[in-house]
């Protein structure tokens, strides 16, 4: 077993399901913040692939600063026009050459821009190349951080002192919010509601036993011919979600409210399917946490996971490891009602040796299961290669 400060303690507060009020949010894949997270992560994956191909290993990089400057457009029933394009800036540090060999040159940068652009159009199908511009501002990393970065058969050393939190299981409301957005943005939901764009935000509020889902959903103007059609689409969507879909996840009373900002003179219409064309801007780290949700009633880290390197940046790696540990405890110990896992690193120490790993547990006597939980934690920490490679294969839904 690894030697580090490890503690299992009894849960001190209410279970999530017992709280009188619960609030959960999810920003969909077309939301400007989610687009920033995804683009930064796509760049990290692309760099990792290039580094492995050219050198046999992943080299130092952190490209986790991104901002999406919204464009300017006009949309009305039946169509619209984008007048000024969106501008996506990704700022970060990356290894540009190794042992005198240039790795990132003008051609590689051109490839990276195209790859991010293709990814964005895959996320938002009505987004055309002339509607956006990608700018990469990547510099070499500082010597002190690059010097402790090693991707080999030994556990890497943490390149930051960071904390992360994972928890399990999801509450009923959390699962409902997560699955509602995922459904509306997957193939089945898009077939059922073809005029929907991808910028969909779901806010779930539970007050006692009553749940309200407030959904902001961008509609594609070219798919909505008039106001009557728009209102009918909203009504059908609210009826399906409120009367059929939510029953897959809860027996509580659920009210569904869609585009509550609409007035007689306005409607949530876009040319592309994302508010980034005119109504909003985006930034890495302002969206969903690493489990895909924004959960103020749970312990959370403000760590921006997307774009960080998957080898030594513990703010990224521990966000996944803590979640895996929590999930395994719940799976292997069915009596566990709720689990919180807190992890913190120390810069320049092996990522397999956190400063502290604390587990908060409901439903089990902590002394009886401490050894078993420590074994789970050791196994997860020892799986750092699988966690690293899981980012490249997009196994972890981190935004």
Could you write out the three-class secondary structure of the chain? Answer: CCCCEEEEEECCCCCHHHCCEEEEEEECCCCHHHHHHHHHHHHHHHHHHHHHHHHCCCCCEEEEEEEEECCEEEEECCEEEEEECEEEEEEEEECCEECCEECCCHHHHHHHHHHHHHHHHHHCCCCCHHHEEEEEEEECCCHHHHHCCCCCCCCCECCCCCEEEEEECCCHHHHHHHHHHHHHHCHHHHHHCCCEEEEEEEEEEEECCEEEEEEEEEEEHHHCCCHHHHHHHHHHHHHHHHHCHHHHCCCCEEEEEECCCCCCCCCCEECCCCHHHCCCCEECCCCCCCCCCECCCCCCCCCCCCCECCCCCHHHHHHHHHHHHHHHHHHHCCCCCEEEEEEECCCCCECCCCCEEEEEEECCCHHHHHHHHHHHHHHHHHCHHHHHHHHHCCCCCCC
Q: Residue 99's pLDDT band (boundaries 50, 70, 90)?
A: confident
| Tokens, residue 68 | 């999406």
pLDDT by residue (tens digit) across 194-221? 999 999 999 999 999 999 999 999 999 9
Residue 247 forms part of a structural domain = yes
Rounded Cα distance, 28 and 261, in Å: 18
For strands 61-69 and 72-76, give the pairing.
unpaired
For residue 17, what pLDDT is reported?
Answer: 94
- In this structure, is residue 379 part of a structural domain? no
Percent of the chain with pLDDT over 70: 99
230 assigned to some structural domain: yes
Give the rounded distance of the alpha carbon of 57 from its chain centre: 26
Q: Can you give the pLDDT at residue 1?
A: 47
Question: Residue 167 falls within a domain, yes or no?
Answer: no
Domain of 266 in residue numbering reads as: 16-28+172-279
> Could you give the number of structural domains in the chain?
1
The C-alpha torsion from 121 through 395 and 397 to 314, rounded to 10°, is -120
Cα radius of gyration rounded to whole Å, the chain = 22
For the cut 50, the answer to whether the pLDDT of residue 350 exceeds it is yes
In a domain, 34, yes or no: no
pLDDT digits (tens, 9 = 90+) for 144-171: 777 777 767 789 999 999 999 999 999 9
In a domain, 245, yes or no: yes
| 238 within domain boundaries | yes
CATH number at residue 214: 3.30.300.340
Report the Cα–Cα distance between both ends of the chain, in Å, rounded.
Answer: 32
pLDDT of residue 393 exceeding 80, the answer is: yes
pLDDT, averaged across the chain: 95
For range 262-266, the mean pLDDT: 94
Burial (0-12, 13-18, 19+ Cβ within 10 Å), 113: middle
Question: Whole-angstrom Cα distance, residue 24 to residue 174?
Answer: 6
- Please state the rounded mean pLDDT for residues 296-304: 92
**Is 111 inside a domain boundary?**
no
Please tell me the predicted confidence (pLDDT) of residue 151.
Answer: 67
Let me know: does 65 contact 88? Beta carbons within 8 Å: no
pTM here is: 0.95
């Amino acid at each position: 077993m690894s030697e580090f400060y490890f503690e299992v303690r009894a849960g001190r507060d209410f279970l999530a399901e017992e709280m009188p009020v619960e609030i959960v949010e999810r920003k969909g894949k077309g939301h400007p913040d989610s687009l920033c997270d995804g683009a930064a992560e796509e760049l990290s994956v692309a760099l990792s692939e290039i580094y492995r191909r050219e050198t046999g290993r992943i080299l130092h990089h952190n490209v986790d600063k991104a901002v999406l400057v919204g464009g300017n457009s006009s949309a009305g029933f039946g169509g619209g026009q984008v007048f000024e394009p969106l501008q996506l800036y990704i700022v970060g540090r990356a290894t540009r050459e190794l042992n005198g060999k240039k790795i990132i040159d003008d051609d590689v940068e051109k490839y990276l821009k195209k790859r991010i652009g293709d990814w964005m159009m895959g996320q938002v199908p009505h987004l055309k190349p002339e509607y956006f511009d990608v700018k990469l501002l990547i510099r070499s990393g500082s010597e002190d951080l690059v010097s402790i970065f090693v991707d080999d058969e030994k556990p890497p050393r943490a390149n930051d002192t960071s904390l992360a939190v994972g928890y399990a299981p999801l509450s009923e409301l959390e699962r409902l919010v997560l699955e509602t957005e995922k459904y509306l943005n997957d193939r089945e939901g898009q077939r059922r509601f073809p005029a929907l764009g991808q910028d969909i935000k779901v806010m779930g509020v539970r007050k006692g036993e009553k749940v309200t889902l407030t959904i902001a959903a961008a509609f594609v103007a070219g798919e909505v011919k008039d106001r009557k059609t728009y209102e009918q689409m909203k009504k059908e969507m609210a009826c399906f979600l409120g009367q059929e879909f939510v029953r897959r996840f809860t027996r509580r009373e659920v009210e569904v409210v869609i585009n509550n900002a609409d007035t007689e003179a306005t409607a949530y219409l876009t040319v592309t399917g994302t508010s980034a064309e005119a109504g909003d801007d985006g930034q890495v780290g302002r969206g969903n946490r690493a489990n895909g949700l924004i959960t103020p009633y749970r312990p959370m880290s403000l760590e921006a996971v997307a774009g960080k390197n998957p080898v030594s940046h513990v703010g990224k790696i521990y966000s996944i490891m803590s979640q895996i540990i929590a999930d395994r405890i719940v799976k292997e110990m069915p009596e566990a009602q709720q689990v919180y896992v807190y992890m913190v690193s120390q810069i320049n120490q092996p990522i397999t040796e956190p400063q502290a790993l604390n587990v908060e547990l409901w439903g089990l006597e902590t002394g009886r299961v401490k050894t078993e939980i420590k074994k789970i934690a050791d196994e997860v920490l020892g799986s750092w290669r699988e966690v690293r490679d899981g980012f490249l294969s997009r196994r972890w839904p981190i935004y």
